[in-house]
Structure 1
Amino acid sequence: MKNISITAFINTIFVLALAAITTTFLFFVKLDKEKSNQERQQRYSIIANSVLNSFELQPKEDQLRKLYSQFEVNPIDDRIKKLDIINHAKELMFQESSIGRVRIYEYYNKYYIYVQKMSYNVLLLDLKSKPYNRSIALVIYIFAVAIFLSLYFAIRKKFIPLRTLDKQIQKFSSGDKNIKLDFQNNDEIGKIAKSFNDAIRNINNLTDSKNLFMRNMMHELKTPITKAMFIVESLDDNKNKEVLGRAFERMNNIIKELATVEKLSSNMSVIYKENTTFFCIYKKAMNILLIDASTISTKMSNFDLKVDIALFSIIIKNLIDNAIKFSPNHHATLIATQKRIEVISNGEKLKYDLNYYTEPFSQEEKRKDGFGLGLYIVKTTIELHDFKFKYAYENGRNHFIIDMSK
């Protein structure tokens, strides 16, 4: 029941309720019919006993007529008609006693009482009782079902805006931030839609402010860094030139990482997949890293894959960079196959769960180098490619894994 939708739940409830109403209606119709038959039989027994008792007194014709009138019955005098009814009617009851015999017949939706005693032989038509009529009960049932279905469709109509709201929320979660809900109702759903509109507006304002801040900050930082790198190239002191060059290159890479974070967080659904090879990705990642090739061992095949080349190169670069940076021997191993890419390094097991390190600006206390954006970019980009990011610790070595198997 936890995972059933509200619409399906309402449909189920109404189907069960309709089934319960129908079952109850049929049950009461059956009871009512049985009660009606019992009352009719009791009445006929009284009429028959009264007529049989009167026969013992040898009543006159006018006395019998008066008795028949009292019980609202009428004798059938036509002998042919009488025989036709006795021979062809459905016998409902037969009763025999010391005072005579009584039979109850039903013929063409009319009821007859056949009384026999010695020389008396009379067939009485019941003028009062009518056959059980289900039409009234059926009309009441149809009326009740009509009201019930009207309530059902009224409730379903009330939930139409909720389905619209759900679709709009799904579009918003998929990256469409320009949606607007226009509900005129002042009920709970209308209030939720209004609150959602307010939330979208606030989120868009915050996102726009954040994007503007990030772009201005990166622009303001990139310009002096670029100028500084040109100045460094003109220095004669090679030692200072190399130190400053690496420092400014590191600052430039940090700005690039911030730009990647801004891109991922502002429009996470947009990536540009291209057909490429893993060697191409690896070469681009190594060009970004600017490290000594001896610090990494590789065991890989040149398989084809379809990914966002720029973002996937950053993934490999960040994993290798982290492995070398935080390994005691500053060495990493890369193993790559069609279904799995692993970056392995010596070191202590992660103190926290992997999710802790994939949050932006998340670091352990001893890790002060960088802003803690590397694994956030890695996980976010991997998930955008519909791959899985995993971690394992075996034999004193950390394994960061990109699982590309379907």
Structure 2
Amino acid sequence: MSSEIPSLVIDRISDKAKKTLDIVQKFVEEECQPCDAVARAQMEQMGKRWGVYPPVIDDLKEKAKKLGLWNIFLSKTHYDQGAGLSNLEYGLIAMQLGKSGLASEAVNCAAPDTGNMEVIAKYGTDEQKKEWLQPLLDGHIRSAFLMTERRVASSDAKNISMKMERQGNEYVLNGSKWWSSGAGDPRCKIYVVMAKSNPEAAGDYKKHSVILVPANTPGIKVERMLSVYGYDDAPHGHAEITFTNVRVPVSALVLGEGRGFEIIQGRLGPGRIHHAMRALGSAERALELMIARVNDPDRKTFGKQLNQHGVIMEWIARSRMEIDSSRFVVLNAAIKIDETDAKGAQREIAIAKVMVPQVALAVIDRAVQAHGAAGVSQDFPLASMWAHMRTLRIADGPDEVHLQQMGRNENKLNQHIVAKNEQQRKRAAAKMKEYGFKASL
């Protein structure tokens, strides 16, 4: 496996990471991928979609712990609780985890828990770490991140409107959230909630706070579970939740009042790059399935095996080019995070966040086409992969928001080009005149 590490980064990868990568690849291929079907069958056998989870995941977790594959997402650069790997090293590992729907959870590196653990590890008090971070690190509980709201344009987080008012030694929350991913899982015990606590504060970015809310707090109601292109994502799920006079102690506040944006930017940066890493794993898996399908000797059309059709070979070639190009974009962002932090790598993260899901979607779509009708059925993971990959163009900020911000920053940083271009125009005009031509530039 270590031979597959891109040569441009091989010198940045420790021997420990190379060994871990080999173990992860074997674990994903031999344990997790075969159990994807088992998990679906167990959910069907239990006869209900919510309040249960497939027990095979606990078996995989035990195997992962014995192999030393646990909490490997927490980078050694910024955290003490992880496995001692860099963001770059975890990036290569996450690309393997993305090849199975169970692998990330099996090694306790599944969203939204990863981002929530990072929030508490980075900003939480000792009491918050003891109560919530340690059980999450141990894999005993799961969590949800509640930010998006139905009745406002949540792509602009300044619109978040859930009320959070201090009354004595408590905060009282009223409002609703949706797309609360993970809230359907019976193991979900804590919500990381963003709400408006300081509506009169000067500056739009000082009006919101983040608070830790136990999922069983009185006044919380899960109204319904939402589907993703028809998939309910049980047991994980995406919930619409209402808060009615939900009371939480002041000690549950994270970092301080009005610091919500500071926290979520610190949270979403790594989360976006983790999504991109796993997305490349899904794209690789789709390409593997496509190659296996077109090389099936029983698959012939118009007298030719599928792999003899030029268009199929073009699909494979384009998929490889796009995956490899995107891989360098992701690894570059991971390196930048290691060298600075998520804020310092904002541009690199945004490029990966926009580019990679689009590439993964294109590769998966080609694989679906190569499979024909089977590609959109439950017999292959491609339809589900496509549906979930499509959400990444919206989750953690839609493409348009990242592109707008990136374009604005790029334009601002390169204003010197305007003056430089004018100087070049004047030089060219002078040269034209020097050689006896009329300057029309």
TM score, norm. by length of structure 2: 0.20
Larger RCO (CA within 8 A; separation ≥ 6): 2
Larger gyration radius, structure 1 or structure 2:
1
Q: Which is richer in strand? A: 1
TM score, norm. by length of structure 1: 0.22
